[in-house]
Amino acid sequence: MVLQEGALPDFVREHDIDHVTLDIIENALKNIRHEMDRVLVTTAVSPVIREQADEFPMIADKKGRMIVGQFGSAVDTVLDNSPYKLEDLKEGDVIALNDPYMMEGSTSHLPDILLVRPIFHSDEHIGYALQWGNLMDVGGSTAGSIPIDARSIFEEGVRMPPVKLYDGGKLNDEVLRFFCHNSRTPRETRADVMAIAAGTATGAQRVKDICDRFGKDTYLEACDALLARTRTSIIGLIRQLIPEGQRFEFEDYTDDDGLGNGPIKLKLAMWREGDALHLDWAGTDDQVPGPVNFLLNKEMFQMFAGVFLISAVDPTILFNDGYADVIHVSIPEGSVLRPKAPAPLSNRLVVMARLFDVLGAVYAKAIGFNVSGSYGTSPNFVYSGVKKSGEPFQTMEILYGGIPAIPGKDGLDGHSWWPEFMAVPAEYMETYYPMLVDEYSVRPDSCGAGQFRGGCGIKKVYRFLADGAITYQDDRAVTFPYGVAGGKPGAPSKKTLVRTNGETVEMPSKVRDVPVYEGDRLLFETAGAGGVGDPLERDPDAVAKDVRWSLVSRESAEREYGVVLGDDGPVDVAATDTMREEIRDGRGDLLGFDHGDLPPLEEQRRAIAETRREFNEWLSGELGAARDGRR
C-alpha cells in the first residue's frame, strides 16, 4: 500500500458499523483463516504441509490489504507482475506463482507457491483469498530444491511467473502438469497445489457467507473499520512503549552462506518520530554468493515489527495491514536482506531467524525491559534415494531448536518460532520412508542459563535403511544464540554422521547430497536458546527439576546456577548458598547481551572458510567412492 507523504489511508475515518456486528465479523474472519488451514493440512499429502503446517492463509480486502493472516499482502505486486489486471479477473480465477522476485519477497524461496483467488459477491469484487504452502520439491540441482552451493536462483528450481491456475473455475491442467513435471515429487506436488487451491476456495466461500448474512456493504465497512482499529491500537503501543528522540541499534551474525563466506552481519536501528516507528537496516552486509540471501518484503517486515508489539504486549489486537503507513522500513538494495536478482534464495531461513533475533534485541533496548534471548535454529532436512523395491523416495522436514526465555518464563524446548508449526511424528517418517528414528530427545545443557532459562535444542538420530543422500541447512554452529541481562547463550548446533564401519564425521551446518548407506546414522542436534537474567537468581528447586528431567546436568547446575544437589536429588540449601556467593565474588559484571566466547571476526572468517574447504575435500572423496562403487 503506497501513500503520498503525510496522506492518511482511506479507512481512517468515522465508521457507521456497530461494535457488536464488527466483533462478530472479526471473529468470523479469524475462523475463516483457521478453516483454510484445516482444509489444506487435511488434504495435502507431503509431511512438510500435512504434518508440520508450513503454510499460511490470508484474507485481503478489495484493495489487496490483509484483513486477517500472518504476512503482509502480495496482491499489488502479483498483479503488477502479471498480464492480468483487476478488471480482467472474474469469479473462479486463481493466480499461481512461486518466483520471490515477482512478488517482492512475499514468499521467499521457490518451494513456496502462492495462490491468489479474487472474491466476488453479486458480481462485485470484494476481496481476495490467498494461501501459500511449502512444496517438497520444485526441481533444481538437488533434492528438496535447497542447494547450498547455488549461485543463482536458476539453480534452485522451476520459476513460475503469475499465471492463471484456474480460469473461471476451469483448471489449467497444462500449466500444473508442466510445473509438476519439473519436480522430483510430482504426485505430492500436484496434490499439495490442489489442496492449497481448495483452501482459497474455502476462504472465498466463507467471505461470501458473511456478505449473505450481513450484506456486502456492511462487510466492506467492517474491513475498513478493522484496519482502522488495528492502526489506532498500534499507534497507542508505539507512543506508550518507544521513547521519542532516541535511536536504538543492534547487530548479530548468521554463520555462513554454505560456500565458506561468513559470518554475515545483520544490523538494525529503530527510532520513533511522533506516531511513526522507523526501522533501518543500514550497515547490514551485502548479499552473499550462497543461497542464504533473504529477499525481505518491506510490507512483510512492517507486519513482523507490529506483530512483535502485539504478541509481547496485547495479543487481543487483530494482526492486519492497518498500520502499514505507521511503520517505516528502509532496507539497503544489494544487501543480504534485499539481494538483486538472480541471487540465490533457497536457504534464506537462517537469515530470517537472525532477523527476528535482531528485531527482538532492538525492542529490548527501546522498551526498557528485556524481551527475550536469541532463538536456537529451525533447520530443514532432506533424505532421498531409491528403495530396495526400486521405488524412488524423498522426504523433507523442518526441525526446531530452543525458544528463548522471556522475563518471567522459561523458553520452550525444541519448538518452532512459528507457533502453529508442528514436528513430523517419528511414526510418520518410519511408515513412509526407509528410516528409523532411533532417538528424538531434548538435548541436555543446550539451554542458555538464566533466572529464566532458554529452551533446549533437540537431538534427533536418524538410521537410514536404504542407500541415498542427505541435504540439510542449519546455522548457529559457530555463533551462539545470545543471552540477555546476565543470561547465558544457548549451545550451538552440531551434526555427526556415523558410518556402519565406525567412522565418525563431524559435519558442518549446511551440506548437500552427502552419500549415506544402509545402517548409517545421523545425529542431528539443534541449537538451544538464550537465557534471561542472572542464573544465580534462578529458583534452586527449578534447577533441581531441570536436572531430574535431564534438561540440565548436575555439573551445569553447579557451574552455571550454583545449585548443589544432594545424593538423592533435593537441593542442599547451605552448600548452594555458599557456592552462589563464591561465584558472585569471582565473576565480573553481567553482560546486557552475551554472545558467548567468540574469537575476533577475522579469525571466525578464516575458520569458516577452512572448515568448508576441508569438508568439500572429504565430500569429493565420498562422491568419488560412490561413483566408483567403492562403498
pLDDT for residue 621 is more than 80: yes
The residue behind cell 465508521 is: 15
Please name which of 452, 447, 451, 485 lies closest in space to residue 590, comparing C-alpha atoms: 485
**Residue 324: DSSP 8-state:** T
Indicate the pLDDT class of residue 630, thresholds 50, 70 and 90: low
CA distances from 131 to 97, 457, 529 (A): 11, 30, 31
CB 155 within 8 A of CB 344: yes
pLDDT greater than 80 at residue 131 = yes
Query: Are 153 and 249 within 8 A, CB to CB?
Result: no
44 and 132 in contact (C-beta within 8 Å)? Answer: no
Residue 492: asked if its preceding bond is cis (omega within 30°), the reply is no
Q: What cell does 543 get?
A: 534447577
- Average pLDDT of 453-466? 97
Mean of all residue pLDDT scores within the chain: 94
Spacing of C-alpha 561 from chain mean position:
31
- What percent of the chain shows pLDDT beyond 90? 86
Over range 326-339, report the average pLDDT: 97
pLDDT at residue 5, rounded to an integer: 52
Q: Is the pLDDT confidence value at 4 over 50?
A: no
pLDDT tens-digit readout, 244-273 = 999 999 999 999 999 999 999 999 999 999
Q: Could you give the CA distance from residue 541 to residue 560 in angstroms, rounded to a whole number?
A: 15
Closest by CA to 91, choosing from 226, 201, 224, is 201
> Whole-angstrom distance between the N-terminal and C-terminal Cα of the chain?
57
Dump pLDDT digits (tens) for 526-555.
999 999 999 999 999 999 999 999 999 999
In this structure, is the dihedral angle defined by the CA atoms of residues 247, 252, 254 and 256, taken in order, positive or negative? positive
**DSSP secondary structure letter of residue 10:** T
Mean pLDDT of 350-365: 92
Closest CA to 454 of 375, 352, 381, 392: 375
Say what the alpha-carbon torsion angle 75, 77, 82, 88 is, to the nearest 10 degrees. Answer: 40
Q: DSSP characters for 241-300?
A: HS-TT--EEEEEEE---SSS---EEEEEEEEEETTEEEEE-TTPPBP-SSTT-----HHH
Q: What is the pLDDT of residue 6?
A: 59
Query: In this structure, what DSSP letter does residue 156 have?
Result: S
**Which region among 5-14, 45-54, 165-174, 294-303 has the lowest average model confidence (pLDDT)?**
5-14
The predicted pLDDT at position 610 comes to: 96
Strands (DSSP E) along 532-604, which ranges? 593-594
Number of Cβ within 10 Å of residue 360's Cβ equals 23
Query: Residue 616: pLDDT above 90?
Result: yes
Residue 596, pLDDT above cutoff 70: yes
Residue 335: CA count within 13 A, CB half-sphere: 20
**Does 457 score more than 50 pLDDT?**
yes
